[in-house]
Chains A and B, each alone.
Chain A
Amino acid sequence: MNDQNSVNASGTGTYSNLTATLALAKASFRSIMRSPSAVVFTLAFPLIFILVFGFLGGGGTRIDVGVTPGSDVDNPVMGMLEQTGMIRLVKDKSKADFDKLLEKGNVDAMIDVHRKVNSSAYSVNVVYTSASRDKGGILKSVLNNAFYNKTLKPSVAEIKESTIVGREYRTIDFILPGQLGFSLLSTGVFGTAFVFLSLRQTLVIKRFFATPVRRSSIVIGEGIARIGFALIGALFIILIGHFFFHFTLVHGVVTVVNMLLLATMGIIVFMGFGFIISGIAKSESMVPPISNIVTLPQFLLSGTFFSIEAFPTWLQPISRALPLTYLNDAMRKVAFEGMGLWDVKFQIMILVIWGIGIYAVAVKVFKWE
């Protein structure tokens, strides 16, 4: 053993930067996997949001429609309403109960169906409630679609036709890419900022500098570990979304690979924020507030939960300036609309511009000691 090592010790130029970089990546990856905050931010938070919205939405809006006591229940109208998958028929309650539920908006409308006298047609009587106007409106348009075009005898086949028109856009198709983007943002920003600040403050980096390792190896090794961890997290989120909540992956594996490529670009850009914060922050307690200044506006304004079209017009330009907006946008286009990376080149270009800007600042403010 001594002989073998004296060869190394004599420093005959056999030193490998690759070995050093990989050793650092391995160490960093192990450390991240054991860090509760990294796992919580990258996996638990997004999964909780996905669970909440996945169950809440259950595949889009749900409208509770009370069936008036005494109504005919075995007829094509009811069948059609149940077929939409959006409408839940509430039966077997007294008139008084329904009135209360209607008043509170706990049922969104009441429906009463009777066969017209001497006719094969049905008469449908719908009562809406002002406590639930928006859902009443949806019900109205569902009924309009189904009836007014085909006044008499709606056949089951015709109804099916109208439901197949578009790919079903579920809540999960909107929420999951947003959560994925946010997971990448928080792991990139918080993780990188904390690690480099604490490595600097606990003199771990100084000890590294006493070895022949290069600075670039330290940064690249850390980067590899964090990107690897973020991608595993992203894959996990996508698969859970797909298999448990029917998240749409138009081209299957190809779509997943495209999403992971986008995720890699995203995490690299977001890590830049982390490098900057680790340079600015004077202590670990300063990391969360500064990081939140970066992450919270993007969390709220980048279309993570709501489409940015829903924002007031004065707010939209701000949304359209943030990098996460473009990552979310690209993710949704790739996942739901089945676009390739070339189709989202505009979004990628904006991310690249952000990346260049962020790293230009990071190089200036990053501190080694």
Chain B
Amino acid sequence: METNKAIISVKNLVKKYDDFVAVQGLTFDVYEHEIFGLLGPNGAGKTTTLEIIETLRNKTSGEIIVDGFSVDQDPHKIKQIIGVQLQAAGYYPNLNLVELIELFAGLYGANIKPMEMLEKVNLQDKAKAKYKALSGGQKQRFSIATTLINQPKIIFLDEPTTGLDPQARRNLWDLIIEIRKAGTTVVITTHYMDEAEQLCDRVAFVERGEIIALDTPDNLIDELVNSGFERKKEVKKANLEDVFINLTGKEWRE
């Protein structure tokens, strides 16, 4: 974090659909080894921005460099060093988890042991299960396992915790923190601000295709407080989610 070396650099990114501007002039850097959050309401342009960086979508204009490679010239090289978890992506039908991991290993040209990948996300017991038969939290963990197959430098997670219960959500946070500890840069989108506050080193707020704020969660909160903002209700030392976890236990229900 101290070095602040940019691994992703986005300059003046614009994406226009026929009569609709989804992204208008985004500029930001993602630093090496950080967890970077893209926050904003639905339709703000978060997913579009991610997919352009992931080389899955063409941009209208602007410049994007990922680990020294340009999305225009070297999309193939970029694909080899990133891991991508898509919102609501499915997996090849009728295959079990081990077979799916083998498939992705072939697609990435990576030489890995499928069981070791599943162990990383604690799914070794589900090795012979079909993706469809997994719970929401397990599905997300499996998706994350597929992003790690090529030992990527950066992984992109698009709303990985949407629809999960509190236990599964916290469990996924632990996994994401572990991945970052192993040296991987994480770019994440989410609608949950508590999640962003817990996980992200820095966050960017996107609104109508523009960045309206970019800083560490702490700085952003301080800024708001300094401007004289006050919560209507006094903040207690715990919230209702803490009560929920305290009552129902920490272990995952899957």
Contact = CB atoms under 8 A, between A and B. Distances in A.
B127 interface: no
Contact of A27 (B99, B110, B112): B99
Given A8-B151, A27-B99, A14 B109 contact: yes
Given A5-B110, A30-B99, A206 B89 contact: yes
A35 B111 contact: no
A2 B111 CA distance: 11
Interface string A171-200: 000000000000000000000000000110
Nearest to A217: B107
B84 A23 contact: no
A9 B153 contact: yes
A26 B105 CA distance: 12
Interface stretch (A44-52, A128-136, A208-216): A208-216
Interface residues of A, number: 37
B110 A204 contact: no
Contact of A203 (B81, B86, B99, B152): B86
Contacts of B110: 5, 8
Given A11-B80, A31-B94, A207-B84, A23 B150 contact: no
Given A5-B111, A9-B81, A27-B102, 12 more contacts: A1-B113, A5-B150, A6-B151, A8-B109, A8-B110, A9-B80, A20-B106, A22-B106, A26-B106, A202-B91, A203-B88, A203-B89
Contacts of B153: 9
Given A23-B106, A30-B95, A206-B86, A9 B152 contact: yes
Given A11-B77, A11-B81, A27-B99, A212 B94 contact: no
A22 B105 CA distance: 11
Max chain A Cβ within 10 angstroms of own Cβ: one of B82, B90, B113: B90
Interface in A7-31: 8-11, 14-16, 19-20, 22-24, 26-28, 30-31
Contact of B151 (A5, A34, A35): A5
Given A20-B107, A30-B95, A8 B89 contact: no
A16 B108 CA distance: 9
14 contacts: A2-B151, A9-B81, A10-B81, A19-B109, A20-B109, A24-B103, A27-B100, A31-B94, A199-B92, A203-B86, A207-B84, A207-B90, A208-B107, A212-B79
Nearest to A8: B110
Chain B's interface size range is 35 or more
B109 A198 contact: no
Interface string B129-165: 0000000000000000010001111000000000000
A318 B32 CA distance: 66
Nearest to A208: B107
Contacts of B89: 202-204, 206-207
A24 B106 contact: yes
Interface in B53-109: 54-56, 76-77, 79-82, 84, 86, 88-95, 99-100, 102-109
A27 B103 contact: yes
The 6 closest A-B pairs by CB, nearest first: A23-B106, A202-B90, A5-B151, A210-B84, A11-B80, A31-B94
B106 A212 contact: no
A313 interface: no
A16 B86 contact: no
A4 interface: yes
Q: Which one of B90, B106, B116 has the highest number of Cβ atoms from chain A below 10 Å of its Cβ?
A: B106
B94 A8 contact: no
B95 A27 contact: yes
A341 B94 CA distance: 37
